[in-house]
Structure 1
Amino acid sequence: MAGQLHLTRRAALAAGITALAAPAVAQVQWPAGPIRFIGIFPPGGGTDILSRIWCQRMAEITGEQFVVENRSGSAGNIGTEAIARATPDGRTIGLASVAPLAIGPTLYRRLPFDVNKDFTYLGGLWQLPNLLVVNNEVPAKTVPELIALVKANPGRFSYASSGSGTTVHLSGAMFATMAGLDMVHVPYRGGAPAHIDLLGGRVHMIFDNIPQGLQSAREGKVRALAVTSTERSPQAPEIPTMAEFLPGFEINSWGGVMGPAGLAPPMVQRIAALTRQALESPEVVARFRDNGATIWPASPEELASFRAANERAFAPIIRASGAQVE
């Protein structure tokens, strides 16, 4: 079925992995039965790729079936609401993302969930920067050249995003604000369709999640100009940071796992322990790295605390950009 991934015990046994994980699993068991993981963005984007890598390893460890269900729209708010409304029995979990949880509370005047009351935070998964890429019809080959080009043509250049309120959107808004540019924001229902239109020349640029943007750049389909982290990415050290041209520029994306409010503490501890075990897998570490992400094994408490601090950090950026929406 489109947008879903079924990972079973049979596949784990075929890979010869389940037996190796048995001693740890004997101490920390997932509740028996299929687990639904709600991905809050469309299939094919960077966060979806990383989510499926983690779910595959979790299926191998637990021997249970994981079903990835993509519920996209409204910058992740639709899927996030679905997580909040799920029964707190451990059968439904989903992606905890910076967009709805740290950006959304300031960006939107109303949200269909309360980030402090409606969720049980279970642990961190990854952190990764965004990557500024332009379509090959844009003549600029560096960030200074792009700034000069856009300044000379106010209102004629567009930047795509995976939806209003995502780090992809705010990276573009911050770029426009810090460089004094007049650009048009074009939001999409996820990173994958935005990237498709970038490749087709219908938009000029995007601050894409690094996995997808970097792959397309290396295939020569787009041109990569800069990353949004304060340090160059280990996956692409030849690409400069935005801060090298606009001091103080920094926006990173992150992902974790969460469930609805009301999950029993023993269940939280079991899921958190299995999450950490999955992230310790050399294969997961390598596949995350190949996709531009860094393993982030935050505890449930650390994820909740980080989310709150990230919300406070994003608030002045959002207000300064004028990006607040109803």
Structure 2
Amino acid sequence: MPTRRAALTLPWALPLLAPTLAGAQEAYPSRAISVVSGYAPGGVTDVTSRAVAERMGRELAVPMVVENRVGAATAVANTAVAQARPDGYTLLMGTSTLAINPGLQPSLTPKEPLRDLAPIGMVFRTAFVLHVHPDVPARSTAELIAWCKANPGKLNFGSSGTGAVNHLALALFAQAAGIEVTHIPYRGGAPALLDLRAGRIQAMFQAVLEALPTLADNATRGLAISSAERSALLPDIPPVAETLPGFDVVFWQGLFAPAGTPAPVLARAGAALRAATEDAALRARLAEQGVVLTTGDAAMLHRTLAEETARWGKLIQEAGIRPE
């Protein structure tokens, strides 16, 4: 009689193993899943992460618990997941910072997110509105560009921090338009908005939801949307791309697992994510906060990360952007 080890090498033994392996794959998930976020509780990113995770948990029939691990431009959260066991029980709500950090702060880990993380699918995209203080005479993107060319360096353009997506939107805007402005970085969008309202800075790319109150009371004037498509919350404001073709800048979020996670596990998590992003009630609720849930598979997320890593790395180098 052959030993167990010998039997497992025989061709006729393989069909006997197949049901066992399939059963192990079908068992996922059998316990709670940790979803790591690099952002503090309460913000749009955190609120969206929790809403999507809750909906995914219902689809998977297990709790999905969001853990906020803040620090080092989200590198704390990103690294925790990249180094986690690749079994599908530790996932990452990764964002645009995964594409920015390698060019801006190459010492941060993971140094190669495309290698160290496995994409599962897109979660959302959210645009910025280019708005200005009422003292700025421009009433369109073209007029703003013309004013800046006539007054080089005189426009104080705020951002929520050096290397933030809205700062890179500004750098790309200035490069594409051939203008010179003065960048004023802040520690977050809120203090920048206060100074924009007060006229201490004159312009800013701001998250649509954050800008809505100031636009509504005419404390600022909206000129353009940073995405290629219009915002449902500001349908009358045209995209920058209508003046600068090809301009398309958004903050995005996607779901990742550690590299090496089995394909069936990634597929199961991806199906649950798709169910969440296609949920009409959830889409409507988050749209009220300026978040457009985006249904996109692992290939789309991989492509987005690859393209933006190259795009932002090139811009950071050309513009000489350095971390604060």
**Cα offsets for 1:97-134 (capped at 9, x unmatched):** 12x22233333443321212221222111223321123
Give SS of 2:113's match: coil
Task: Give 2:31's aligned residue.
Answer: 32
Distance 2:193 2:47 in 1: 15
Change (3 A) 1:58 1:171: same
Deviates more, 1:54-63 or 1:113-122: 54-63
Shift of 1:307: 1.8
Counterpart amino acid of 1:106?
A: G
Letter of the structure 2 residue corresponding to residue 267 of structure 1 = V
Q: State the 1:164 CA deviation.
A: 3.1
Contact 2:28 2:265 in 1 (8 A): no
- Matched with 1:279 is 277
The CA distance in 2 between the partners of 1:70 and 1:132, in whole Å, is 30
Question: What CA distance in whole angstroms lies between the structure 2 residues aligned with 1:164 and 1:262?
Answer: 33
Q: Deviations over 1:219-238 (max 9, x none)?
A: 54533210122333343221
**Within 2, Cα distance between the matches of 1:87 and 1:275?**
20
More displaced 10-residue stretch of structure 1: 195-204 or 104-113: 195-204
Aligned to 2:46: 48
Q: How far is the alpha carbon of 1:32 from its aligned partner? A: 1.4
Aligned equivalents of 1:29, 1:194: Cα separation in 2: 45
Distance 1:79 1:198 in 2: 32
Aligned to 1:263: 261
Aligned to 1:32, what secondary structure does the other structure show?
Answer: coil
Where does residue 17 of structure 1 map in the other structure? none
Structure 2 gap segments, 5+ residues each: 1-25
| Identity in percent | 34
1:170 to 158, 168, 191: 168
Question: How far apart, CA to CA, are the structure 2 residues paired with 1:294 and 1:97?
Answer: 14
Match of 1:229 among 217, 227, 230: 227
> Following TM superposition, by how much is the alpha carbon of 1:149 offset from its aligned partner in structure 2, in angstroms?
4.4
State TM-score, norm by structure 2. Answer: 0.76
Aligned to 1:13: none
1:280 Cα offset (Å): 1.9
Q: Which structure is larger by alpha-carbon Rg, 1 or 2?
A: 2
Report the CA distance shift for 1:67/1:41 in structure 2 as closer, same or farther (over 3 A). closer
Counterpart amino acid of residue 103 in structure 2: T
Which residue identity is paired with 1:96?
G
Q: 1:80 to 1:192 in 2, by over 3 A?
A: farther
For normalisation by structure 1, the TM-score amounts to 0.75
Structure 1 stretches of 5 or more lacking a match? 1-26
State the distance in 2 between where 1:299 and 1:28 align. 22
CA distance change for structure 1 residues 200 and 275 in 2, over 3 Å: closer, same or farther?
Answer: farther
1:132-211 equivalences under 5 Å are: 132-136=130-134, 138=136, 140-151=138-149, 153-192=151-190, 194-195=192-193, 197-199=195-197, 201-211=199-209
The Cα shift of 1:135 comes to 4.1
* Residues 53, 287 of structure 1: 8 Å contact kept: no
2:321 to 317, 320, 323: 323
The answer to whether the 8 A contact 1:73-1:189 is kept is: no
1:68-87 maps to which residues of 2 (within 5 A)? 68-69=67-68, 71-74=70-73, 76-87=74-85
Distance 1:221 1:323 in 2: 30
Q: Does 1:103 align with 2:104?
A: no
> Offset of 1:282 from its aligned partner?
0.9
Q: Are the aligned partners of 1:72 and 1:78 in contact in 2 as well (CA < 8 Å)? A: yes
Equivalent pair of 2:37/2:66 in contact (CA under 8 Å): no
> Are the structure 2 counterparts of residues 271 and 316 from structure 1 closer, same or farther at C-alpha, using a change threshold of 3 Å?
same
1:66 and 2:65 correspond: yes
How many residues align? The count is 297
| CA displacement 1:165-205 (0-9 Å, x = unmatched) | 33211110112223333323233454455445545655433
Distance, in Å, in 2 between the alignment partners of 1:65 and 1:275 is 12
Q: Which moved more, 1:58-67 or 1:297-306?
A: 58-67
Provide the C-alpha distance between the structure 2 equivalents of 1:203 and 1:158, rounded to a whole number of angstroms.
Answer: 5
Aligned to 1:11: none
Contact 1:45/1:191, CA 8 A, preserved across alignment? no
The Cα of 1:274 is off from its aligned counterpart by 1.2
